[in-house]
C-alpha cells in the first residue's frame, strides 16, 4: 500500500506538472466544437467506460473473458488490432457507434510495417536506398491499402536504433545511425499520415518501441537494456523526437526495462521527455501485454499495481492485457490513481479518433479495396523499391551485370523459388501468390535465348546435403551459376535472435561445393540483418544483397542482375566479421589507446582486425565514382552559424548511375568524449558517364549539438574534421573550427 500512496503522489506531481505546462505544451487543441464534444463525452463517461477507451483487444488475444460484441456494446473496448476483414470491422464499428451508450467509435490497428497487400522490401532493406522520397511513397501506398482494408492505425515506423545484428528485430528498423534514422522516421510519418488523417487514404502512425529496445542485452529479444542516459539522448531518442516533430499521432512503449525501469512504466520518458520536453499531443499505446509484464519484470506487485504504474507514467492505452479495464476504476475510487490521469489519457485517444474522422465517418467503403489493393502503380513502386534497396557488395572483374549472350544459367539455392521468404517478417496482409520469385523474374528477364536450370540444393535449416548432387548437375550444364541463399523469413523479426550470423543450415557447404566447380558464380543474398559472410566475400566473385525484398523481389533483382538498373544501395548497419566483434558500429569512440598495429597495448583483438567486414554506408555500383576537390568554404564558423563544404563527384565508369554521397564530421575535443565519425548529411545523386557534379552541404552548427558534461544539449566550440565520401570508412578529409 505504501508504494500505492507514493504512486498517487507521483501521479499528482505528473498531472500538476502537465497542468502547468498545459499552457505551453497543451494537447493541440482541435477546433472548439470538437473540444466541446470531447469535454461533454468525458463528463458523461463512467470510470469503466474511460478504462474501456484505454483498452485494446486483439482478435488473436485470448485475454479476458466475455463476448467481444458484448464488450464493445458495454464500452469496454476502445480499440481493436489484427482484424483484417473490412466487413467484420464495420460490423464491430456499428455496434460501438450505434449500440453502445455513448457511441464512441473504435480505432483499428495493425502492423503495416513494410506494405499492406503490396509488400515492399523490409525496412532495413528499404533504408539501404537512402531515398527518403521513395520511403515516403511506399508508406503512402501502405496507408492507402490499409485504410481501404479498414485499418485506421499502423504500428509503424519502428524507429529503434540497432547496433546488434543478433537481435532479430534489426530488420524492422533503419539501422544504426540516429541522423539517417531520424530522417526516415519523418518520411514514414509523412507518408502514412499525409496532410489529413481524416482522408480515406491515410492512417495514424505509431513510433515504436519507445525506447531503447534495440539495445537489448546480447541481442537477445526482450532482454534488459542498460544504456547511459547520454547515449539514450544522443543515439536512441532522436528518431522518436523527429517523428513527434513530424506530427506522429501515436507512440508505442516497449517491453524492455531501461536502466531498471520498464519502458511501459517509465514516467521520465513517457511524461517528462515525451510530453514535457517534446510537446507530444497524441497517445501512447503499450506493446503486447507490456503493462502486465511489469509484474515479471519485478516492478509491479500485481495487475492493479501494473495498471497504476502504466497509466500514471503515461501509457494511455493498454494492448491486449486487461489490467486497465479490471483495475483502473477501482484505483481511482480508492484515490490510488487520480481521475485526471484517466481523463487525460481518454482525451488524447479521442483526439486521435476525431483527427482520423472516425466520429464523422466511422465506416469504411467496403468496395474500395478492390481498386486499391495491388494496383499496378503500387506494384511498379514495389519493383522500384527493390531495385533501390539492393546492395552490390562485390563485383570482381565486373562479372555483373550478366551478359545477354548467356545461353544457360543455373539458379541454385533454397530461396530461388521462395515466396514467403521474399515477403519477409511482419506482413500480415501479404499473399504468397502475389510474389514474383527470383526464378520467375530471372526466366522472364533472360527470355527464350537462355536456359535456366533450377535446383534447390538444400534447405535453409538442418544439415541435409541430399540436394547437392542435383545442384551440381544443374551447375555442370550451365555457363554461370546464380546462388539464391541466405536467411528465410523465419530467421528474422520478433523473438528471432541468433547467436551465429552465418548462412543458416548447410548453405555455406552448398556454396563451397558450387565454387569448386570453377565456373563464374553470382550470389544473391537474402537476409534481414548483417551476416558474417567472410568466406563468401573472399571467394565468390559477385554478391548482391537483396534483403527480403517483398512481392516484386524477382523482378527487381533480375533488373539489377541484367543491368536494367544500376544498383546504388548502401548498408545502413555495419556488417561484422564475427559475432565476437558485436556491438560494432561506425560512430564509436576513439578510446585513449586507439589501435596501432605496432603497439600491442592499444585497443584491439589478438585474433581479429577491429574493422568490420563491411562498413556503414558501403555499397558498390556498376560504374565507378571519383571524389575530388573538397572545399571547406567556411574554415571558421561562429556559433550559431553554418558550415559550408563541397566536393566534386565524377562518374569515371561506363554506366550512368546513382551515388549516395555522405558527409561525416568528428568533434575532436568535447566536454565528453565524442564519436570518431557522425553522419551529418547525404545526397543521392545521378551521374552520366564522365559527368561531374559539385555536391554542397550546409550544416547548421545546431546540427552539431550533443548532450554535454552537464547533460545539456549544446554545441561546443573547437576543431572538427569533416569528410565527404562513399561510405563511413573512406572520404576526402577537411577541417573547420567553431568559435563562440
Residue with the three cell numbers 573547420? 736
> Smallest distance from the beta carbon of 337 to ligand GLC, in angstroms?
25
Task: Please choose, from the candidates 683, 614, 567, the residue with its C-alpha nearest in 3D space to the C-alpha of residue 131.
Answer: 683
Specify the residue, 215 or 503, whose C-beta has the smaller distance to ligand GLC.
Answer: 215
Are the CB atoms for 618 and 572 separated by under 8 Å?
no
Establish if 318 lies at the interface with ligand GLC (CB under 6 A). no
Residue with the three cell numbers 553470382? 522
Specify the residue, 288 or 720, whose C-beta has the smaller distance to ligand GLC.
Answer: 288
Residue with the three cell numbers 558464380? 521
> Smallest distance from the beta carbon of 169 to ligand GLC, in angstroms?
8
Specify the residue, 145 or 287, whose C-beta has the smaller distance to ligand GLC.
Answer: 287
Question: Cβ contacts of residue 185 below 8 Å, gap of 6+?
Answer: 157, 159, 174, 207, 239, 240, 242, 243, 246
- Omega of the bond leading into 401 within 30 degrees of 0 (cis): yes
Cα separation of 390 and 621, whole Å?
Answer: 10
108, 153, 155, 723: residue in contact with ligand GLC (rule CB under 6 A)? 155
Number of residues lying near ligand GLC (CB under 6 A): 7
Are the CB atoms for 350 and 35 separated by under 8 Å?
no
Q: Measuring CA to CA, how many Å separate 732 from each of 374, 625, 649, 721, 724?
A: 45, 13, 11, 10, 5
Establish if 177 lies at the interface with ligand GLC (CB under 6 A). no
Specify the residue, 59 or 589, whose C-beta has the smaller distance to ligand GLC.
Answer: 59
> Smallest distance from the beta carbon of 290 to ligand GLC, in angstroms?
8
Of residues 471 through 500, those in contact with ligand GLC by CB under 6 A are: 494
Establish if 208 lies at the interface with ligand GLC (CB under 6 A). yes
> Smallest distance from the beta carbon of 284 to ligand GLC, in angstroms?
13
- Helix, strand, or coil (residue 738): strand
List 58's β-bridge partners, or say none.
81
Specify the residue, 208 or 327, whose C-beta has the smaller distance to ligand GLC.
Answer: 208
> Smallest distance from the beta carbon of 483 to ligand GLC, in angstroms?
33
Specify the residue, 321 or 395, whose C-beta has the smaller distance to ligand GLC.
Answer: 321
Specify the residue, 210 or 299, whose C-beta has the smaller distance to ligand GLC.
Answer: 210
Residue 402: how many other CB atoms lie within 10 Å: 23
Of residues 74 through 133, those in contact with ligand GLC by CB under 6 A are: 81, 111
> Smallest distance from the beta carbon of 71 to ligand GLC, in angstroms?
19
Residue 374: how many other CB atoms lie within 10 Å: 16
Specify the residue, 83 or 660, whose C-beta has the smaller distance to ligand GLC.
Answer: 83
Q: Which residue is nearest to ligand GLC (CB)?
A: 155
Question: Cβ contacts of residue 39 below 8 Å, gap of 6+?
Answer: none
Specify the residue, 330 or 494, whose C-beta has the smaller distance to ligand GLC.
Answer: 494
Of residues 334 through 393, those in contact with ligand GLC by CB under 6 A are: none
Cα separation of 166 and 182, whole Å?
Answer: 23
Check residue 359 and report its DSSP letter.
T
Cα separation of 121 and 114, whole Å?
Answer: 7
* Cα 360–chain centre separation: 32
Dihedral of CA atoms 10, 11, 17, 19 in degrees, nearest 10, equals -160
> Smallest distance from the beta carbon of 100 to ligand GLC, in angstroms?
24
Residue with the three cell numbers 541463399? 485
> Smallest distance from the beta carbon of 277 to ligand GLC, in angstroms?
24
Of residues 230 through 289, those in contact with ligand GLC by CB under 6 A are: 287-288
Establish if 222 lies at the interface with ligand GLC (CB under 6 A). no
In order, the DSSP letters of 483-550 are EEEE--GGGSSTT---S--S-STTHHHHHHHHHHT-S-EEEEEE-SS----HHHHHH-SEEEE--S--
> Smallest distance from the beta carbon of 261 to ligand GLC, in angstroms?
18
Q: Which of 160, 281, 287, 316 is catalytic?
A: 287
Told to judge if 466 belongs to the known catalytic residues of this protein, a careful annotator would answer no
Task: Please choose, from the candidates 689, 691, 660, the residue with its C-alpha nearest in 3D space to the C-alpha of residue 568.
Answer: 660
Cα separation of 714 and 702, whole Å?
Answer: 8
Of residues 285 through 304, those in contact with ligand GLC by CB under 6 A are: 287-288
Cα separation of 426 and 382, whole Å?
Answer: 16
Active site residues: 287
Q: Which residues bind ligand GLC (CB under 6 A)?
A: 81, 111, 155, 208, 287-288, 494
Amino acid at each position: 500500500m505504501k508504494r500505492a500512496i507514493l504512486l498517487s503522489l507521483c501521479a499528482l506531481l505528473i498531472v500538476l506538472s502537465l497542468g502547468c505546462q498545459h499552457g505551453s505544451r497543451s494537447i493541440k487543441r482541435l477546433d472548439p466544437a470538437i473540444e466541446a464534444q470531447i469535454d461533454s463525452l468525458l463528463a458523461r463517461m463512467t470510470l469503466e467506460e474511460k478504462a474501456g477507451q484505454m483498452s485494446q483487444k486483439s482478435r488473436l488475444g485470448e485475454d479476458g473473458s466475455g463476448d467481444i460484441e458484448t464488450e464493445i456494446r458495454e464500452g469496454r473496448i476502445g480499440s481493436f488490432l489484427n482484424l483484417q476483414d473490412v466487413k467484420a470491422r464495420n460490423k464491430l464499428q456499428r455496434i460501438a457507434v450505434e449500440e453502445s451508450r455513448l457511441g464512441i467509435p473504435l480505432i483499428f490497428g495493425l502492423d503495416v510495417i513494410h506494405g499492406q497487400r503490396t509488400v515492399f522490401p523490409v525496412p532495413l532493406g528499404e533504408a539501404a536506398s537512402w531515398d527518403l522520397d521513395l520511403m515516403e511513397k511506399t508508406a503512402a501506398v501502405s496507408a492507402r491499402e490499409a485504410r481501404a482494408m479498414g485499418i485506421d492505425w499502423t504500428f509503424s515506423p519502428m524507429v529503434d536504433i540497432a547496433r546488434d545484428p543478433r537481435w532479430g528485430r534489426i530488420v524492422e528498423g533503419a539501422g544504426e545511425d540516429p541522423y539517417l534514422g531520424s530522417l526516415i522516421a519523418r518520411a514514414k510519418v509523412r507518408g502514412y499520415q499525409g496532410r489529413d488523417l481524416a482522408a480515406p487514404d491515410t492512417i495514424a502512425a505509431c513510433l515504436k518501441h519507445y525506447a531503447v529496445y534495440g539495445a537489448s542485452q546480447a541481442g537477445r529479444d526482450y532482454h534488459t537494456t542498460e544504456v547511459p542516459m547520454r547515449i539514450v539522448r544522443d543515439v536512441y531518442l532522436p528518431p522518436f523526437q523527429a517523428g513527434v516533430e513530424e506530427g506522429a499521432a501515436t507512440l508505442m512503449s516497449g517491453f524492455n526495462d531501461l536502466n531498471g525501469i520498464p519502458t511501459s512504466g517509465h514516467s521520465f520518458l513517457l511524461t517528462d521527455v515525451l510530453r514535457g520536453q517534446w510537446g507530444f499531443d497524441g497517445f501512447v499505446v503499450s506493446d503486447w501485454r507490456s503493462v502486465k509484464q511489469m509484474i515479471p519484470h519485478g516492478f509491479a506487485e500485481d495487475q492493479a499495481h501494473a495498471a497504476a504504474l502504466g497509466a500514471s507514467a503515461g501509457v494511455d492505452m493498454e494492448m491486449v492485457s486487461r489490467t486497465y479495464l479490471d483495475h483502473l476504476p477501482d484505483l481511482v475510487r480508492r484515490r490510488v490513481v487520480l481521475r485526471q490521469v484517466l481523463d487525460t489519457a481518454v482525451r488524447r485517444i479521442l483526439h486521435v479518433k476525431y483527427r482520423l474522422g472516425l466520429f464523422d465517418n466511422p465506416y469504411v467503403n467496403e468496395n474500395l479495396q478492390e481498386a486499391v489493393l495491388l494496383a499496378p502503380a503500387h506494384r511498379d513502386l514495389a519493383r522500384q523499391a527493390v531495385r533501390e534497396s539492393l546492395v552490390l557488395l562485390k563485383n570482381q572483374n565486373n562479372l555483373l551485370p550478366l551478359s545477354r549472350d548467356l545461353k544457360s544459367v543455373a539458379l541454385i539455392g533454397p530461396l530461388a523459388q521462395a515466396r514467403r521468404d521474399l515477403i519477409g517478417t511482419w506482413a500480415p496482409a501479404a499473399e504468397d501468390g502475389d510474389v514474383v520469385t527470383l526464378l520467375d523474374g530471372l526466366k522472364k528477364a533472360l527470355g527464350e535465348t537462355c536456359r535456366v536450370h533450377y535446383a534447390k540444393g538444400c534447405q535453409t535449416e538442418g544439415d541435409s546435403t541430399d540436394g547437392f548432387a542435383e545442384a551440381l548437375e544443374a551447375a555442370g550444364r550451365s555457363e554461370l551459376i546464380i546462388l539464391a541463399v541466405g536467411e528465410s523469413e523465419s530467421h528474422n523479426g520478433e523473438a528471432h535472435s541468433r547467436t551465429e550470423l552465418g548462412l543458416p543450415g548447410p548453405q555455406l557447404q552448398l556454396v563451397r561445393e558450387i565454387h569448386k566447380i570453377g565456373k563464374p558464380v553470382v550470389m544473391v543474398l537474402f537476409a534481414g540483418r548483417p551476416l558474417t559472410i567472410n568466406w563468401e566475400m573472399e571467394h565468390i566473385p559477385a554478391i548482391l544483397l537483396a534483403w527480403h525484398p517483398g512481392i516484386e523481389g524477382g523482378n527487381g533483382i533480375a533488373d539489377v542482375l541484367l543491368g536494367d538498373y544500376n544498383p546504388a544501395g548502401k548498408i545502413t548497419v555495419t556488417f561484422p566479421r564475427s559475432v565476437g566483434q558485436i556491438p560494432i558500429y561506425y560512430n564509436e569512440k576513439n578510446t585513449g589507446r586507439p589501435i596501432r598495429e605496432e603497439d600491442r597495448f592499444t585497443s584491439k583483438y589478438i585474433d581479429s582486425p577491429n574493422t568490420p567486414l563491411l562498413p556503414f554506408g558501403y555499397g558498390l555500383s556498376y560504374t565507378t565514382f571519383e571524389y575530388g576537390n573538397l572545399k571547406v568554404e567556411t574554415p571558421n564558423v561562429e556559433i550559431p552559424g553554418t558550415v559550408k563544404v563541397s566536393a566534386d563527384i565524377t562518374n569515371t565508369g561506363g554506366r550512368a548511375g546513382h551515388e549516395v554521397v555522405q558527409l561525416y564530421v568528428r568533434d575532436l575535443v568535447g566536454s565528453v568524449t565524442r564519436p570518431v565519425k557522425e553522419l551529418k548529411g547525404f545526397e543521392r545523386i545521378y551521374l552520366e558517364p564522365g559527368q561531374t557534379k559539385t555536391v554542397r552541404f550546409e550544416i547548421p552548427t545546431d546540427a552539431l549539438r550533443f548532450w554535454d558534461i552537464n547533460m545539456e544539449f549544446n554545441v561546443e566550440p573547437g576543431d572538427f574534421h569533416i569528410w565527404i565520401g562513399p561510405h563511413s570508412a573512406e572520404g576526402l578529409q577537411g577541417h573547420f573550427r567553431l568559435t563562440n
